[in-house]
C-alpha cells in the first residue's frame, strides 16, 4: 500500500499519535502494550514516539519507520526537551513545534552505519592489533562469565571494574556490580559535570539547577556554550528568546563561542578569560557587589549563612587583584558586577569551562555564590531548582559488605568525590597496582581511551588488564583494546526510562522503533545474561527488562510501562514549575539556608568559604600556550565522527590560534602545525582567528580517531593526548581542560 505523506503541519497537530498511515489507524500503537507494540513493528509505515540518544540530551523525537526501516526523524512536541524548561512556557510553545539538533537529524546515519559492530568479537591477536574472530553470542557470554568467576574466586570481585555511560541501563549495571560484589561501578558524571554539581550542592543544595533563560533580563554565563554544546535541544531557543525579550548576556570564555557571538549581537559582552581563572573573576565580582552594597540584603539576611565570613574573604579579592589573573580589566569587572546586581531577574550559570579544571570545584562554588549574593534563586527568570520525579528501580543491595574501592572515591584524598567515581584514579590503579590491581574492566557505551584525559596513559593502563569487555556500536579505540566486543544497540533499538531535565516533573520513554539490526541484544539483556550465567538467579535478572521498568514506574509514579507508552508523545508530564520552594522547605543544605560558608567543608579541614586556587598545569617557558577543548553542535564527544552526514558538515577539527600569536609564530590559516607537550605530539590544521585569547589554543574534542570506523579514522587531532590527566582535588572531576603546549610550523 502506498504510504501517506504527512504534511509537517498535520504531523505536528497529530503529535500525540504513535502510529499512522498504511493500514494503521491514526492513534494506532499508542494503545498497545509493549509486546503488542513490538509485534506491530512489522506494520508498513508508522511514526513512533521515542527519545534521542545521539548525545545525553534525551530529546523527544518521532521516528518514521517504513517496512521496518527508520527513514526520518522529527522532533516530538509533547516532550519539553525540544521546547523549553518552564511549564508555563511549555503550554505556550507546544503548538509552535519542538526542535532537535543536527546530530539528532543525522541519527539515521548512525543507525545504518556500515561500520557498526555486527557480531560478538573475540580477540585473537595481540591486544589492540585488531585481529578478531566472530563468535556466537552465547559463547561470548559463557567465556566472559567463566573468566569473571575465576577472577572472583582467585582474587576477589573488586578486581572487576565496571564503567558505564549514565543514560543507558544504569540500574541494571549497578545491580550486577552489587550482586557480583564489586564496589567499582563508575559512571559518566565523573567525566562530565561533578565540579558544577559540587558548586551548586554546597551553596544551594541542588547539584543541577536550571537557568530560566527565556524569562530573564540578565545572564552571566561562565564557560558554557548552550548554542552549540546543546546539552538540551531547547537551550538555543530559550536563550535567544530571552535576548529577543531584552535580556543582556555576558559570556565568559577564552573563546568567542557561538553563544558569546550571540551576546555581542544583542549588545552584551564576551569576556575572554584566561583558562582556569573563573573562580578569581567570580570572587572579584562578589568583592564589588559587597563593597558597593549592591547585594540583596533581604535574601542575604533571611536565607543565607556565612555572609560575614564570605565578605571578609573577598575583601582582598579586588578587581585589581583579579585583572592580571583573569586577563579581564578591573573596569570591566566593576561594570559587570554593577549590571549583574542591578538587573533582575538574573541567571548566573556555568558548566564545563570552569568545571573541567583542577580548581573546578571551588571555581564553581564561587560562581554559585554570586547567585546567592544577588538573591536570584528559584524564582522566575533565575536559576530554578527542578522539581523532578521519576521511576524508582529496585536495585538489589550488595550480597556481602563491599571491599574498598579501587578509585579512592570514598577516601580522604577526594573529600567530596561524587558517587560516579574517579576515573583517573581507577586508571592509576591499573598502572601502579595501588591500592590494588584490577584484573578486568567493562566499558558499556564509553570510549574510555578518548574520554579520559591523557590518552597514552589510558592505553598503557588497559594493556595491564587480563580481561576487557566493550559493549559498543562501533569498534572504538577502547573496543580495539578489548578481549571481547559485544555489539551494542542504538537508541532506536532499545528501551529506557528518562526523567527529563526541565524544571517540572516529566518522564519520557525511549523505546525500540526497529528491531536490533543484527539480531543483537540490548545492553541490559547482555548484563542480565551475564548475571544469570554467573548463577545470580535473582531480581532483576530473572524477570524481563520490561517488567523491571514497569515495576520502577509503578513504584515511582504509580503507572506502568504500557501507560507511559500510550501517553501523548510517550511522555508523562507530572505538574508545574514550582518557584521559591525554599520559603517552605528551606534549601537542601545542612543549614537549610544558602551557604556562603560550608560547615561540611570545615569539618573536613577545608576552607569553608570558596577560595581561588590557581591550577598547576598552565603555561611554562617550554610550553607557553594554554590548550583547551570544547564541543560543537555537529558532534558528540568522540562518537559521531563516523556519521557520514555530520562529517560532511565538519569533517576534521582545527587548532584555533589567535591571529597575533599565529603571526608571531609564522603560522598562516590552514597550515599544518605541530602541537607538542610532555604528554603528546601531533599535527593539527591551524585555524587562525580573532575569536580566541592570545595565550590560548584549542580544538573541538573527539577527533583524531585511529579506530571507530572508516570515516572517522585519520580525521583531525585527538585533544585528549595533551592533557595531564589528573582529577580535581575536592570532587575528583577529570580535569579535561588543563594543559599547556607549544605550537610550531
Ligand atoms: N578532552 C576532553 N575529554 C572529555 C570531554 C571534553 O570536553 N574534552 N568531555 C567529557 C564529557 S562532558 C563527557 S560526558 C564524556 C563522554 O564520554 P563518553 O561517554 O565516553 O562518550 P563518547 O566519547 O561519545 O563515547 C561513547 C562510546 O559509546 C559508543 N556508543 C554510542 N552510542 C551507543 C549506543 O547506543 N550503545 C552502545 N553500546 N555504544 C554506543 C560510541 O561508539 C563511543 O565509542 O567525555 C568527557 N571527556
Ligand atoms: N553538540 C554537543 N552538545 C553537547 C555535547 C556534545 O558532545 N555535543 N555534550 C553534552 C555534555 S555531556 C555536556 S557535559 C555539555 C557541556 O557543555 P559545555 O559546558 O558548553 O561544554 P564544552 O564545549 O566542553 O565547554 C564549554 C566552554 O568552555 C570553554 N572553556 C575552556 N576552559 C575554560 C575556562 O577555564 N573558563 C571558561 N570560562 N571557559 C572555558 C570552552 O572554550 C568551551 O566553549 O554539552 C552537552 N551538549
Ligand atoms: Mo558531559
**pLDDT of 696-714, one tens digit each?**
999 999 999 999 999 999 9
11 confidence band (pLDDT: 50, 70, 90): very low
C-alpha triplet 16, 494, 447: angle, nearest 5°: 125
Claim to verify: residue 289 and residue 157 sit in the same structural domain: no
Claim to verify: residue 397 and residue 527 sit in the same structural domain: yes
Q: Is residue 165 part of a domain?
A: yes
Which ligand has an atom closest to residue 520 CA? Answer: 1
Please state the atom number of ligand 2 nearest to the C-alpha of residue 631.
Answer: 23
Q: Give the per-residue pLDDT at 39.
A: 56
- pTM for the complete prediction? 0.94
> Total structural domains in the chain?
3
Q: Is residue 115 part of a domain?
A: no
280 CB under 6 A from ligand 2?
A: no
pLDDT at 12 exceeding the cut of 50: no
Q: Which of 101, 220, 231 for mutating ligand 2's site (highest number of atoms within 8 Å of CB)?
A: 231
Domain boundary among 352, 385, 418: 385
Claim to verify: residue 379 and residue 397 sit in the same structural domain: no
Please state the atom number of ligand 2 nearest to the C-alpha of residue 357.
Answer: 35
Residue carrying C-alpha cell 522539581: 387
Which ligand has an atom closest to residue 492 CA? Answer: 1
Average pLDDT over residues 511-535: 98
Q: Is residue 610 part of a domain?
A: no
Claim to verify: residue 629 and residue 698 sit in the same structural domain: yes
Q: Tell how far the Cα of 294 is from the centroid of ligand 1, in angstroms.
A: 43
d(CA 395, CA 541): 11
Host domain of residue 450: 121-192+393-491+521-554
Claim to verify: residue 364 and residue 220 sit in the same structural domain: yes
pLDDT at 736 exceeding the cut of 90: yes
Claim to verify: residue 404 and residue 544 sit in the same structural domain: yes
Q: What is the CB < 6 Å shell around ligand 1?
A: 53, 165, 188, 191-192, 352, 445-447, 450-451, 453, 471-474, 476, 488, 490-491, 523, 629, 631, 636-639, 701, 719-720, 723, 736
Claim to verify: residue 219 and residue 350 sit in the same structural domain: yes
d(CA 614, CA 628): 16
Instruction: Write phi, then psi, for 432 (nearest 5 degrees).
Output: -110, -15
Crossing angle of helices 455-463 and 423-432, in 10° steps, is: 50
Cα 227 from chain centre: 15
630 CB under 6 A from ligand 2?
A: yes
Claim to verify: residue 180 and residue 153 sit in the same structural domain: yes
Q: Is residue 237 part of a domain?
A: yes
pLDDT in tens, 440-468: 999 999 999 999 999 999 999 999 999 99
Residue with CA closest to ligand 2 atom 14: 192
C-alpha cell of 488?
551494542
Are the C-beta atoms of 186 and 426 separated by less than 8 Å? yes
Question: Of all residues in the chain, what percent are helix, strand and coil, respectively (each to 5)?
Answer: 35, 15, 45
Cis geometry, peptide bond prior to residue 143 (ω within 30 degrees of 0): no
- Evaluated on CA atoms 464, 465, 466, 467, the torsion sign reads negative
Q: Tell how far the Cα of 195 is from the centroid of ligand 2, in angstroms.
A: 13
Are the C-beta atoms of 213 and 377 separated by less than 8 Å? no
pLDDT in tens, 58-82: 999 999 999 999 999 999 999 999 9
Q: Is residue 510 part of a domain?
A: no
Q: Tell how far the Cα of 226 is from the centroid of ligand 2, in angstroms.
A: 8
Claim to verify: residue 302 and residue 430 sit in the same structural domain: no
Cis geometry, peptide bond prior to residue 345 (ω within 30 degrees of 0): yes
d(CA 84, CA 102): 18
C-alpha cell of 481?
583494546
Residue with CA closest to ligand 2 atom 22: 630
Claim to verify: residue 650 and residue 709 sit in the same structural domain: yes
pLDDT in tens, 326-374: 999 999 999 999 999 999 999 999 999 999 999 999 999 999 999 999 9
C-alpha cell of 197?
554539581
Count Cβ atoms within 10 A of the Cβ of residue 42 and give its class: 0-12 exposed, 13-18 middle, 19 or more buried. exposed
C-alpha cell of 285?
565580582
Q: Tell how far the Cα of 138 is from the centroid of ligand 3, in angstroms.
A: 34
Q: Which helix (H) or strand (E) holds 524?
A: helix 523-533
56 CB under 6 A from ligand 2?
A: yes
d(CA 177, CA 182): 5
Average pLDDT over residues 706-724: 98
Amino acid at each position: 500500500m502506498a504510504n501517506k505523506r504527512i504534511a509537517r503541519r498535520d504531523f505536528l497537530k497529530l503529535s500525540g499519535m504513535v502510529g499512522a498511515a498504511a493500514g494503521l489507524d491514526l492513534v494506532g500503537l499508542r494503545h498497545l502494550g509493549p509486546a503488542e507494540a513490538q509485534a506491530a513493528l512489522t506494520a508498513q509505515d508508522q511514526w513512533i514516539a521515542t527519545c534521542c540518544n545521539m548525545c545525553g540530551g534525551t530529546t523527544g523525537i518521532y521516528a518514521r519507520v517504513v517496512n521496518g526501516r527508520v527513514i526520518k526523524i522529527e522532533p516530538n512536541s509533547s516532550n519539553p526537551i525540544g521546547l523549553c524548561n518552564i511549564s508555563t512556557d511549555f503550554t505556550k510553545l507546544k503548538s509552535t513545534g519542538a526542535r532537535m539538533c543536527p546530530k539528532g537529524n543525522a541519527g539515521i546515519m548512525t543507525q545504518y552505519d556500515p561500520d557498526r559492530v555486527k557480531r560478538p568479537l573475540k580477540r585473537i591477536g595481540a591486544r589492540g592489533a585488531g585481529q578478531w574472530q566472530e563468535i556466537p553470542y552465547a559463547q561470548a557470554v559463557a567465556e566472559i562469565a567463566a573468566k569473571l568467576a575465576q577472577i572472583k574466586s582467585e582474587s576477589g570481585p573488586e578486581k572487576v571494574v565496571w564503567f558505564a555511560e549514565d543514560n543507558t541501563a544504569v540500574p541494571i549495571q549497578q545491580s550486577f556490580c552489587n550482586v557480583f560484589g564489586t564496589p567499582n561501578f563508575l559512571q559518566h558524571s565523573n567525566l562530565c559535570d561533578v565540579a558544577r554539581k559540587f558548586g551548586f550542592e554546597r551553596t544551594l543544595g541542588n547539584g543541577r539547577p536550571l537557568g530560566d533563560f527565556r524569562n530573564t533580563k540578565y545572564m552571566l554565563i561562565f564557560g558554557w556554550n548552550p548554542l552549540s554544546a546543546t546539552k538540551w535541544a531547547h537551550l538555543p531557543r530559550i536563550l535567544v528568546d530571552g535576548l529577543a525579550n531584552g535580556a543582556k548576556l555576558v559570556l565568559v570564555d577564552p573563546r568567542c563561542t557561538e553563544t558569546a557571538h550571540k551576546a555581542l549581537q544583542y549588545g552584551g559582552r564576551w569576556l575572554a578569560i584566561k583558562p582556569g581563572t573563573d573562580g578569581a573573576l567570580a570572587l572579584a565580582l562578589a568583592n564589588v557587589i559587597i563593597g558597593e552594597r549592591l547585594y540583596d540584603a533581604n535574601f542575604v539576611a533571611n536565607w543565607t549563612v556565612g555572609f560575614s565570613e564570605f565578605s571578609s574573604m573577598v575583601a582582598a579579592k579586588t578587581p585589581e587583584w583579579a585583572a592580571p589573573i583573569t586577563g579581564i580589566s578591573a573596569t570591566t569587572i566593576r561594570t559587570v558586577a554593577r549590571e549583574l546586581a542591578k538587573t533582575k531577574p538574573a541567571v548566573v550559570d556555568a558548566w564545563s569551562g570552569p568545571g573541567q579544571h583542577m580548581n573546578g570545584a571551588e571555581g564553581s562554588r564561587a560562581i554559585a555564590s554570586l547567585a546567592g549574593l544577588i538573591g536570584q534563586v528559584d524564582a522566575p527568570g533565575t536559576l530554578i531548582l527542578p522539581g523532578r520525579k521519576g521511576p524508582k528501580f529496585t536495585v538489589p543491595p550488595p550480597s556481602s559488605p563491599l571491599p574498598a574501592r579501587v578509585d579512592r572515591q570514598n577516601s580522604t584524598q577526594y573529600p567530596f568525590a561524587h558517587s560516579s567515581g574517579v576515573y583517573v584514579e581507577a586508571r592509576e590503579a591499573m598502572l601502579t597496582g595501588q591500592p590494588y590491581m584490577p584484573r578486568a574492566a567493562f566499558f558499556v557505551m564509553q570510549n574510555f581511551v578518548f574520554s579520559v584525559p591523557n590518552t597514552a596513559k589510558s592505553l598503557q593502563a588497559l594493556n595491564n588488564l587480563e580481561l576487557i569487555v566493550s559493549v559498543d556500536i562501533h569498534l572504538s579505540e577502547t573496543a580495539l583494546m578489548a578481549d571481547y566486543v559485544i555489539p551494542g544497540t542504538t537508541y532506536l533499538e532499545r528501551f529506557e526510562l528518562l526523567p527529563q531535565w526541565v524544571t517540572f516533573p516529566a518522564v519520557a520513554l525511549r523505546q525500540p522503533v526497529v528491531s536490533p539490526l543484527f539480531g543483537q541484544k540490548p545492553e541490559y539483556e547482555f548484563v542480565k545474561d551475564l548475571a544469570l550465567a554467573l548463577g545470580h538467579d535473582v531480581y532483576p535478572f530473572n524477570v524481563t527488562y520490561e517488567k523491571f521498568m514497569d515495576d520502577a514506574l509503578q513504584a515511582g509514579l504509580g503507572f506502568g510501562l504500557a501507560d507511559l507508552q500510550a501517553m501523548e508523545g510517550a511522555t508523562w508530564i507530572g505538574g508545574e514549575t514550582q518557584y521559591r520552594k525554599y520559603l517552605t522547605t528551606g534549601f537542601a543544605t545542612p543549614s537549610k539556608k544558602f551557604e556562603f560558608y560550608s560547615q561540611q567543608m570545615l569539618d573536613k579541614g577545608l576552607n569553608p568559604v570558596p577560595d581561588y586556587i590557581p591550577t598547576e598545569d598552565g603555561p611554562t617557558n617550554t610550553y607557553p600556550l594554554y590548550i583547551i577543548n570544547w564541543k560543537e553542535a555537529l558532534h558528540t564527544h568522540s562518537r559521531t565522527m563516523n556519521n557520514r552526514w555530520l562529517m560532511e558538515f565538519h569533517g576534521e577539527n582545527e587548532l584555533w590560534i589567535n591571529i597575533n600569536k599565529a603571526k608571531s609564530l609564522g603560522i598562516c590559516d590552514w597550515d599544518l602545525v605541530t602541537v607538542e607537550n610532555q604528554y603528546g605530539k601531533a599535527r593539527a590544521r591551524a585555524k587562525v582567528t580573532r575569536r580566541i585569547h592570545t595565550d590560548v589554543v584549542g580544538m573541538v574534542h573527539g577527533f583524531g580517531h585511529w579506530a571507530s570506523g572508516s570515516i572517522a579514522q585519520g580525521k583531525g587531532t585527538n585533544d585528549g593526548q595533551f592533557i595531564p590527566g589528573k582529577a580535581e582535588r575536592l570532587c575528583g572531576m577529570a580535569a579535561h581542560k588543563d594543559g599547556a603546549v607549544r605550537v610550531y610550523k
